[in-house]
Amino acid sequence: MPFQIIHNVRVWGTPDEDSLRQILRCASSGDAKRACLMADHHKGYSQPIGGVVAYRNFISPSGVGYDIACGNKAVRTNLKIDEIRHKIPHIADLIAKHIEFGLGRKNPEPIDHPVFDSPKWREIPELKKLKDLAYEQLGTVGAGNHYVDVFVEEATGDIWVGVHFGSRGFGHKVATGFLNLAHGRPFDAPPRGENMDAPPTLLKVNSPLGQAYLAAMTLAGEYAYAGRDYVVRKVLELLEAQSTYEVHNHHNYAWKERHGGEEVYVIRKGATPCFPGQESFIGGSMGDISVIVRGKDSPEAREALYSTVHGAGRIMSRRQAAGKMVWRKKRRVGGAISEERMRRAVQEFGVELRGGAPDEAPFVYRKLSDVLAAHLETIDVLHVLKPVIVVMAGPDIVDPYKD
């Protein structure tokens, strides 16, 4: 289905009314040049997930979001499925044992990395206090929908490793801090209650605060890349494998780009950049395929600001799926998805699962093939990957349930 234009917003897939209201608000803010909704869109904080907005002279901390530089990395290994089929449960155990998953987790083997030598830690006063946290957490994976997967490309038998996470607690505190500063509060003030339909927070790019945010965001991006690189290397060690091909991208970030002969800042929240020839890894749910795609040079791709989906897209909130936590009973009630149903579905798909919770069950997501079908004029699918191992944070350490 081709995209449609709704009040000057380019929309792929079936429009979600809440998301549409959010992106329309963004499109009418500041000096926005263009706004788009990818086919996996759903409601987010201020700017919807799957939302893309190009501003001429503004940067948007609320648009980039709290998980700055969340992204994906995938590598093809030199292994074939027949070489590991007999030890898939053991490999899943190794990954769960040697990589830390969940909120606040620290790496028991802290990593010295060149990212910590960046002058930005000194030049931006607010970042000095966050360096220790960043150092402790580099190489750990978050909660929620963040994961380490092992895939098979069924057409070739090749084994792939894929990861999805961002800049961890460091990025979250950077986002919270700059949103505080933008609204006249101290950087380290407690986060205010989130109004999901808040108007976008915009900073003039050339203002001191805008420049400081851009520098901090860039550092969080370098940090996220370093973390994903480390985790992939660790999994390759556990597999006793080597990488033969790599794809790596952010999907919560702001890029300075040129579109329609004009220089703009493109804010992609839960949207993947896909310029002509650019390759990206896009993950589905834990009971679905994932893919490697390559951007096309087409009129529709230009309308999309050379952007595409970052995943399958939620159709059910975390609380709807898993229920409300009743702390005195230490359990959740009212959820539409039971853990038994989730695990049965994943097992039937042929996945060895470690961790996971009903809020990440396959039923809460669209099918990736459906959202990709809406973007066929903007991307080519190069590789289709089926998960054989999925490792995520367990139900005891998942993110707080926020709709």
Here the CATH number for the domain that contains residue 350 is 3.90.1860.10
Alpha carbons within 13 angstroms on the beta-carbon side of residue 69 total 24
Range of the domain at 25: 4-392
Stretch (H or E) spanning 264? strand 262-269
- 282 domain-assigned: yes
Q: At what angle do helices 208-239 and 88-98 cross, to 10 degrees?
A: 140
- 397 domain-assigned: no
- The answer to whether the CB of 247 falls within 8 A of the CB of 281 is yes
Identify any residues that bridge with 309 across adjacent strands, giving them in sequence order.
271
Give the pairing of strands 158-165 and 147-153.
Answer: antiparallel
Q: Where are the alpha helices (DSSP H) in 85-126?
A: 88-98, 120-123
Burial of 25 (C-beta count, 10 Å sphere; 0-12/13-18/19+):
middle
Q: Look at the chain and report how many structural domains it folds into.
A: 1
- The answer to whether the CB of 33 falls within 8 A of the CB of 55 is yes
Measured at the CA of 247, the angle between CA 246 and CA 253, to 5 degrees, comes to 145
pLDDT of residue 327: 59
Choose among 76, 96, 70, 109: nearest CA to 148.
96
CA distance 302 to 184: 37
Q: Is the dihedral of CA 26, 32, 37, 41 positive or negative?
A: negative
- 236 domain-assigned: yes
DSSP secondary structure letter of residue 30: T
- 216 domain-assigned: yes
pLDDT of residue 400: 35
- 398 domain-assigned: no
pTM for the predicted model, two decimal places: 0.94
- The answer to whether the CB of 274 falls within 8 A of the CB of 295 is yes
First to last CA, the chain: 29
- 401 domain-assigned: no
Residue type, 231: V
- 89 domain-assigned: yes
Residue with tokens 């009971």: 287
pLDDT of residue 161: 98
pLDDT of residue 192: 78
- 400 domain-assigned: no
- The answer to whether the CB of 92 falls within 8 A of the CB of 126 is no
pLDDT of residue 334: 80
Residue 326 CA, chain-centre distance (Å), reads 29
pLDDT lower than 70: segments of the chain: 1, 325-331, 395-403
Q: In what order do the strands lie in the sheet with 32-42?
A: 4-6, 9-11, 32-42, 49-55, 262-269, 252-259
Residue type, 6: I
